Structure 1
Amino acid sequence: MRGQLLKSRLSLIITGLCLGSLLTSLIWYNNNVDPHRPPPQKKNVTQPFGPCEGCRKIIDKAVQRYSQTWKKQEDNYQNFRSNLSSECHGLDNAIITQTNTPVGSRIVFNGIRKTLKVTPKLFSIFAKESPFSNKTWDTCAVVGSGGILTNSSCGNAIDSAQFVIRCNLPPVDNGYEKHVGVKTDLVTANPSIFTQNYGALIGQRRPFVERLRTYGNSLLLLPAFSYTLDTPVSLRVFSTIKDFHSPIRPVFLNPEYFRSLLLFWRSQGLYRGQLSTGISMVSLALELCNNVDLYGFWPFSTHPYSLHNLTSHYYDNRQPKFIVHAMPTEFELLLQLHSQGVLRLHLGDCQPGGTEVIDKANAQNSEKQEDNPPKI
């Protein structure tokens, strides 16, 4: 009798353990595996596209300001440029060179707390000197990839600039020329592009080299030292360019310069998120150029004048997998600089001759549509 009772109790204990294990597994599965459950959202992260807190206010503000004539304010420009230069020293430090990064020094990665010692072999592929030292241009265009450039006819206006900066290897051929231009003096490339589109250059490399032809002999800026995973693929990019005798000139972004930029923009009110490539290149342009024009910088999915829906880029509608940039906040800061006459944002379409068209009638109508606001 006592034996049967012990067996019954033991059976109940085993059953309870099994049920507990099953319940734990179900809870874990629901929280981690269930494909129908959306991934948990990080708090206090601004969405770069689509709905976001305060976006409508920013759009209305932009439309209102663009109904007014823009004029450069030389004093504001000189003050901002002087502060930026004294904090970041982009002309000498934006690019890793043999002067600012000697053999035996250590490169501190941006994304992680690791360093890399500069060996003679690594030192040999650094630029001998900064391509920007003792150089300035009168007019510069920084071209973002926003969908606002679609059918904008701004190609001539962009190409008229003396120095043109583009971000993340965007297409400038196959019909895009009319709207984004073709001239390129500096183009950036996120290492993820090489991994996603070119197999990290481990196999066939010629398609990548062919892609670079559209950029001629421009500078190719590689952020090789943001994360340790970026370094090997960036070095393969460098060797591929040399092996195929491509005229493009690869250089490495200095992580020290990037850190100084982050501190500078934190002081300007950009308290959250990593700096985007766009605002980083705008910063460099403000040191390099007397007059800076921005195209394709519009982080919302609705056009500010015609109110039609926009794709995330002028060449595709691919959304970012991870939200690391506070794009609307960056845009608002750039809008402030526009209003202060430091730089000029372009949000309207362009005429064939290159001048911008601002549809004031649509601008006024958009301000009156509070009862039926467009999707943003």
Structure 2
Amino acid sequence: MSGLVWERGSIRGQRLQLLLGFMLVALFLWTLLTTFISSDSHVEPHRPPAQKKSEKKAPSVSSDNMGEEKVEKQQKTDLNTTDLDKDRTERKHKTTAHTSHVEPHRPPAQKESEKKAPSVSSDNSHVEPDRPPAQKESEKKAPSVSSDNNHVEPPKPPAQKESEKKAPSAPSYNCNGCKTVIDKVLKNYSQTWTKQEVNFQKFRSQLRTKCNGADKFIITQANTPVGSKLVYDGERNNVQEVNSDIFKTFVKESPFSNKTWDTCAVVGSGGILANSSCGKAIDSAQFVIRCNLPPVENEFKAHVGSKTEIVTANPSILVQKYGSLSGHRRPFVESLQKYGNSMLLLPAFSFAANTPVCLRALYTIEDFEIPIQTVFFNPKYLQSLHEFWRTQGLRAVRLSTGLMMVSLALEICSNVHLYGFWPFSNHPHGFQPLNNHYYDNKPAVKGMHAMPVEFDHLLQLHSQGVLRVHLGQCGKQ
């Protein structure tokens, strides 16, 4: 019995040994299979994603069949990987050989987009505007400025334009309203100027009838007695009643009544007088009128002269340069000595603010006993003069001091010559740039005077032979 048990035990032991051996063999085979699969798995990531997706979407593998079929399918796939790769490689080569015109299509597509970029397509129009300017700027800046100095280049085109404007042959005008006037100047100065006596007498007669500057140009005790009212020409709502103190500041009678001078020179302060050499011609006139206390000494004398019969002063000069004459007054007195025994003409009754400072100027001259006679513009005359020029087509808020003095000269002088009257920033001959004044470049106050329009009227009188406008260098016209 025990022998039978032992036999059965040995049989079971043998069976267990066989089973164990079989399991060891199976495990060994499984290990080999797993090793083979892991060794081929590195090939899989190199496959194009599109091919993986197509394999996932293949109808032979369903999403819910994840059991033994999946393992079997994976094993078959792994076993046939090499063959599939070979087939795909061969197909790829064949496809490349037969469709070589298709495969290179991608890079040309990019090149075409680059070529199409300059034409500004609708898809990349936001990129395109940057390209042409960059190319244009590089083309413009390349000859003269390096790439790290591009910010310096923009001023150069204006410099070229200015050089073009300076060219006498084909100037391009940069001053407002001056092209038409310059054309007239060049036309008029191409002909020899001659006085037209008939035109001169006609215009003088009109002025005398309307304004009578010989008697009413300045305030006198004769035309403005005590108790009369002065209406400010610049502020019609302000009225000054003449009392005894104010009356004493008036000259007794007009220095122009019943007098006529042969030649008068009215000298403006325009930059056109610089380097004009007109000093001798100006000083040769019998009666010289100057505006706004201009310098006539040192380097200016050769170009503007020094002789002076009347010099005007804008109250703003007295305020800004001489502190309204409320402090030290000697600098103001010394500045007047260069004008000799002339008349200082002040607009004391044009604006109410002018009256105090103009009276202080008169008192200063009297206190220092210098040979300057102070006279005041007559606001009644200025009102009538304004109306006269309106009949001539001149519309302005206020006439310039220069035009006021020209109007007086046309009444009291037989021959009137104008110097320094040119309201533009470029010379009419050669078109070189000019300063605003022959002694500085301080800009004029805008909005008050119509200087270009005034000059156009003076140029008309020049062409009619009524007066003569001098432009450029004297002796070369």
TM-score, normalising length: structure 1:
0.80
- Between structures 1 and 2, the one with greater helix share: 2
State, as a whole percentage, how many aligned pairs show the same letter. 63
| Residue pairs, 1:83-232, within 5 angstroms | 83-112=206-235, 113-232=237-356
| CA distance in 2 between partners of 1:65 and 1:149 (Å) | 19
Distance (whole Å) between structure 1 residues aligned to residue 436 and residue 186 of structure 2: 20
1:346 aligns with 470
Q: Which amino acid aligns with 1:82?
A: S
Assess if the C-alpha contact under 8 Å between 2:322 and 2:332 holds in 1: yes
Q: What is the match of residue 357 of structure 1?
A: 476
Secondary structure of 1:175's partner? helix
Counterpart in the other structure of 2:400:
276
Q: TM-score, normalised by structure 2?
A: 0.63
CA contact (8 A) 2:196 2:464 kept: yes
Aligned residues: 304
One-letter amino acid of the counterpart of residue 62, structure 1: V
Deviation at 1:273, TM superposition (A): 3.0
Q: Which residue of the partner structure matches residue 365 of structure 2? A: 241
Q: Deviations over 1:319-348 (max 9, x none)?
A: 024331111100000000000000000012
- Deviation at residue 125 of structure 1 after TM alignment: 1.3
Q: Distance in 1 between matches of 2:457 and 2:446?
A: 22
Whether 2:185 is the aligned partner of 1:65: answer: no
Matched letter for residue 71 of structure 1: T
Secondary structure (helix, strand or coil) at the match of 1:96 reads coil
2:203 aligns to what?
80
CA contact (8 A) 1:50 1:300 kept: no
Higher RCO (CA < 8 A, seq sep 6+): 1
Tell whether the 8 Å contact from 1:173 to 1:214 is kept in structure 2 after alignment. Answer: yes
- Tell me how far apart the structure 1 counterparts of residues 472 and 424 of structure 2 sit (CA, whole Å): 14
Please report how far the alpha carbon of residue 67 of structure 1 lies from its aligned counterpart in structure 2 after TM superposition. Answer: 1.1
What is the Cα deviation at residue 277 of structure 1? 0.4
Structure 2: stretches of 5+ with no match in the other structure: 1-172
Aligned CA distance change for structure 1 residues 178 and 245 (closer, same or farther; 3 Å): same
Aligned to 2:427: 303
- The residue matched to 1:121 in structure 2 has which SS? helix
* CA root-mean-square deviation: 1.1
- The letter of the residue matching 1:205 is R
Q: Quick one: distance in 2 between partners of 1:138 and 1:152? A: 24
- Work out the CA distance in 1 between the residues paired with 2:174 and 2:331: 34
Kindly report structure 1 stretches of 4+ aligned residues shifted beyond 6 Å: none
Say whether the 8 Å CA contact 2:214–2:412 is kept in structure 1.
yes
Say which SS state the counterpart of residue 414 (structure 2) adopts: strand
Distance 1:293 1:299 in 2: 17
Give the deviation of 1:306 after TM superposition. Answer: 2.2
Question: How far apart in 2 are the matches of 1:297 and 1:317?
Answer: 15
Structure-1 residue corresponding to 2:136: none
Q: CA deviation at 1:209?
A: 0.2
SS of 1:300's equivalent in the other structure is coil
- Structure 1 or 2, whichever has the larger Rg, is 2
Name stretches of at least 5 consecutive residues in structure 1 with no aligned partner: 1-48, 351-355, 359-376
- Give the Cα–Cα distance (whole angstroms) in 1 for the partners of residues 323 and 230 of structure 2: 26
